[in-house]
Amino acid sequence: MGITREEVLHVAQLARLQLQDHEIDAYQLELNELLGHFEDLSAVDVTGLEPKPHAVSLTNAWDEDVVRAGLTRDQALSNAPAQKAGLFIVPTILED
């Protein structure tokens, strides 16, 4: 099993990463090496094993239903690269 150049590009597209040509080649090599190691895991019998999604299991961490001050609008916008009238400005999403 190996990951192709097209698959690298597809994954990069899914992850919203624009890559340069030389990066695509480097990542193809690197991902293939790592995937080779992942194959080690497929040899292990995992029948009946419970998946462990977290380090220390907790269930239902409830919060009190009380109003609490968050960031002000100015604070939330303070690091935005583009803003106007109290809003984040994003590039055009819908073309005409």
Partner 1 sequence: MLRDRKVSAREVATAFLDRAESTRELYGAYLHIDREWTLSQADAAQAKLDNGTAGPLTGVPVAIKDNISTAGQPTTCASKILDGYIPPYDATSMAKLKEAGLVAVGKTNLDEFAMGASNENSSAFPAKNPWDISRVPGGSSGGSAAAVAGRTAPVSLGSDTGGSIRQPAALCGIVGFKPTYGRVSRYGLVAFGSSLDQIGPMAHTVSDAALLAQAISGYDDRDATSLQMPSIDASRVQEGSIKGKRIAVPKELFAQGAEPGVLEAVHRAMDQLRAAGVEFVEVSVPEIELGVTTYYIIAPAEASSNLARFDGIRYGPRMEATGHVGTVAATRGQLFGHEVKARIMIGTYVLSAGYYDAFYLRAQQLRGKMAAHLDEVLQGCDAIIGPTSPVVAFPLGGLSQDPMAMKLVDYCTIPANMGGFPAISMPCGLSEGLPVGLQLMGRVTEDEALLQLAWQVEQALGPQAQPNLGLTQ
Considering only 2, 21, 55, 65, the residue that binds partner 1 (CB under 8 A) is: 55
Chain centroid offset of residue 27 CA = 17
By the rule CB under 8 A, 87 interacts with partner 1: no
By the rule CB under 8 A, 6 interacts with partner 1: no
Report d(CA 50, CA 47) in Å as an integer.
Answer: 9
Residues 6+ apart with CB under 8 A from 48: none
Footprint (CB under 8 A) of partner 1, residues 25-54: 26-27, 30-31, 33-34, 37-38, 40-42, 44, 46, 49-54
